[in-house]
């Protein structure tokens, strides 16, 4: 029996000719990631075990993105711990205010991750980098500490679900709708500790922004990772950007999958996840009348240029409805600059939206958009658990940038096609 794409990457990094689902392995790491919430815990764990050095200062990335610019004294102290550590160990890839971005938008953009990599990060959405043909997964802060010390991590090799894509996306439908549809189909634990491996001729029709969004939310189906095959879209994205040599892996023809889920992209409609689970999905036609108080466009899921362009296409020449707050957060400083150059920032501000600094901010109820009691938000983020964006009696509806922007205009969850 052959190996899946994920299994081949893990075998290569473990120095083994083959691995199989359920096998415990120790694998070498290409990159270890932490942010301003998780890194201080890892740093303390590293110090407590007596470690004096990191395994490779070029293969650690520390990104201050959750509560930055710092929202309070506690957040400032968290970041200070990371800044001191980065200075002490001369960490090459340290990103602070002014150079920062949301980690899972920033690392691909800066060429720190790419095809064939094995990456861990002390953040659950580290699975984003599977869009580039890498094995990447979220771990706890103690695992991050061990990774920073040794450059290795233990894994149980995951089984895999094959997601076969065909067709092309209709207008106003994006990668966010694809992944919400998939999670709604298999459930939030439908891929528990398995790899979601995306295949089929429909892959070629997805932009890199779409793929990054889809891989980002693999964890919301319980998956260990999500991964896409390396094709010309991947190579074009990585060319002149990826800092190391790409290593392309592909699944064997006789690779074993626990199941196959088929998705006809051309048949999809915009999808909205109702509170309080990403799997509680409805198509836009089934939503009904849902007024909203706030619309958030951004995050590691949907803060890229394609997302901002989709939102701007809806908001151009229109106004945010009275009583609605629309907050737009670009994923990185470079995306911020590109949005300025393309005139998107002017479209947002003229429409009555706030165009702000790259930060996770509202996604986890951090700052810059926390919800009060009874308030509703439609958001392009990845989770809508109870209290995720603020008060436990607030509600979060997950949707694409186009749907979020259309909802900002009308004041209720809206199909962008109805505004044409």
Residue linked to tokens 């600094």: 357
Looking at the fold, whether 225 and 276 belong to one and the same domain comes out as no
Give the list of residues 6+ apart from residue 86 with CB closer than 8 angstroms, or none. Answer: 62, 94
Residues 51, 129 within the same domain:
yes
User: How high is the pLDDT of residue 205?
Assistant: 94
CB neighbours (10 Å) of residue 340? 13
- Number of domains comprising the chain: 2
Pair (259, 297) in one structural domain: no
Question: What are the structure tokens assigned to 206, written together?
Answer: 């997805």
Q: Does residue 246 sit in the same domain as residue 278?
A: no
Tokens standing for 399?
């949707």
Phi, psi of 204 (to 5 degrees): -60, -20
Give the whole-angstrom CA distance, residue 178 versus residue 264: 10
Would you state the torsion angle of the CA atoms of residues 362, 31, 7, 232, taken in this order, to the nearest 10 degrees? Answer: 80
Q: Which two tokens stand for residue 98?
A: 């002014």
Rounded-to-integer distance, Cα 313 and Cα 372, Å: 29
Q: Per-residue pLDDT tens for 234-271?
A: 999 999 999 888 999 999 999 999 999 999 999 999 99
Tell the residue number behind the tokens 């064939």, with chain if given: 116
H/E stretch holding 198: strand 194-199
Same domain flag for 289 and 218:
no
Domain end, chosen from 263, 295, 311, is at 263
User: Within this chain, do residues 276 and 245 fall inside the same structural domain, yes or no?
Assistant: no
Residue 387: count other Cβ atoms within 10 Å of its Cβ: 13
The confidence score (pLDDT) of residue 362 equals 87
> What is the phi/psi pair of residue 20, to 5°?
-140, 160
Task: Let me know whether 280 and 168 are in one domain.
Answer: no
Comparing CA positions, the residue from 307, 419, 389, 308 lying closest to residue 355 is 308
Tokens 């002017």, located at residue: 346
Query: Are residues 350 and 379 both part of a single domain?
Result: yes
- How far apart are alpha carbons 375 and 358 in whole angstroms? 24
d(CA 77, CA 43): 13
pLDDT one digit per residue (tens) for the chain, 420 residues: 799 999 999 999 999 999 999 999 999 999 999 999 999 999 999 999 888 899 999 999 999 999 989 889 999 999 999 999 999 999 999 999 988 899 999 999 999 999 999 999 999 999 999 999 999 999 999 999 999 999 999 999 999 999 999 999 999 999 999 999 999 999 999 999 999 999 999 999 999 999 999 999 999 999 999 999 999 999 999 999 998 889 999 999 999 999 999 999 999 999 999 999 999 999 999 999 999 999 999 999 999 999 999 999 999 999 999 999 999 999 999 999 999 999 999 999 999 999 999 998 888 888 889 999 999 999 999 999 999 989 999 999 999 999 999 999 999 999 999 987
On whether both 231 and 378 belong to a single domain, the answer is: no
Instruction: Pull the structure tokens for residue 281.
Output: 């999905």
As a whole number of angstroms, the distance between CA 103 and CA 129 comes to: 11
Query: For residue 321, what are the contacts with CB-CB under 8 A and spacing of at least 6?
Result: 408, 409, 410, 411
Distance CA 38, CA 331 (A): 19
Structure tokens at 231: 């094709």
Last residue of a domain, one of 244, 263, 282: 263
Show the tokens assigned to 110: 């800066």
Of 206, 171, 176, the C-alpha closest to 314 is 171
Q: Do residues 153 and 193 share a domain? A: yes
The answer to whether residues 237 and 283 belong to one domain is no
Q: What is the pLDDT of residue 365?
A: 83
Task: Reduce the DSSP state of residue 31 to 3 states and report it.
Answer: strand
3-state secondary structure 150-169: HCEEEEECCEEEEEEEECCC
Distance between CA atoms of 93 and 112, rounded to whole angstroms? 9
Which domain CATH number covers 355?
3.30.499.10
Q: Which of 230, 263, 296 is the last residue of a domain?
A: 263
Its domain, for residue 404, covers 272-419
Write the DSSP string, 267-322: G---EEEPTT-TT-EEEGGG----B-SEEEE-HHHH-SHHHHHHHHHHHTT--PPT
For residues 150 and 245, membership in a common domain is answered with yes
Please give the DSSP secondary-structure letter assigned to residue 170.
P
């Amino acid at each position: 029996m052959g190996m899946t794409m994920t299994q081949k990457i893990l075998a290569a990094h473990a120095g083994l000719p083959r691995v199989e689902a359920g096998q415990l392995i120790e694998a070498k790491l290409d990159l270890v990631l932490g942010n301003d919430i998780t890194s201080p815990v890892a740093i303390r764990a590293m110090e407590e075990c007596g470690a004096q050095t990191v395994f490779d200062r070029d293969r650690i990335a520390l990104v201050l993105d959750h509560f930055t610019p710092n929202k309070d004294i506690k957040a400032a102290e968290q970041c200070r711990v990371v800044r001191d550590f980065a200075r002490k160990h001369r960490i090459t890839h340290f990103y602070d205010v002014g150079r920062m971005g949301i980690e899972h938008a920033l690392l691909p953009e800066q060429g720190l991750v790419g095809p064939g990599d094995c990456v861990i990060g002390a953040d659950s959405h580290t699975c984003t980098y599977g869009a580039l043909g890498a094995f990447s997964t979220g771990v706890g802060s103690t695992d991050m500490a061990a990774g920073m010390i040794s450059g290795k991590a233990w894994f149980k090799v995951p089984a895999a679900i094959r997601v076969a894509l065909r067709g092309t996306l209709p207008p106003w439908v994006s990668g966010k709708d694809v992944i919400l549809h998939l999670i709604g189909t298999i459930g939030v634990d439908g891929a528990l500790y398995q790899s979601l491996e995306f295949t089929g001729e429909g892959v070629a029709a997805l932009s890199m922004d779409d793929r990054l969004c889809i891989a980002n939310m693999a964890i919301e189906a319980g998956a260990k990772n999500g991964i896409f095959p390396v094709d010309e879209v991947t190579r074009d994205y990585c060319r002149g950007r990826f800092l190391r040599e790409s290593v392309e892996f592909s699944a064997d023809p006789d690779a074993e999958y626990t199941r196959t889920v088929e998705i006809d992209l051309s048949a999809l409609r915009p999808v909205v996840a109702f509170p309080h689970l990403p799997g509680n999905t409805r198509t836009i036609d089934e939503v009904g009348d849902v007024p909203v108080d706030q619309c958030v466009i951004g995050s590691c899921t949907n803060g890229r240029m394609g997302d901002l362009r989709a939102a701007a296409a809806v908001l151009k020449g229109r106004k945010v409805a009275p009583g609605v707050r629309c907050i737009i957060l670009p994923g990185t400083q470079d995306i911020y600059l590109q949005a300025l150059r393309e005139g998107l920032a002017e479209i947002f501000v003229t429409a009555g939206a706030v165009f702000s600094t790259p930060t996770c901010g509202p996604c986890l109820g951090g700052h810059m958009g926390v919800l009060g009691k009874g308030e509703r938000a439609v958001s392009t983020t990845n989770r809508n658990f109870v209290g995720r964006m603020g008060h436990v009696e607030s509600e979060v509806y997950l949707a694409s940038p186009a749907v979020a922007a259309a909802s900002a205009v009308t004041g209720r969850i809206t199909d962008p096609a109805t505004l044409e």
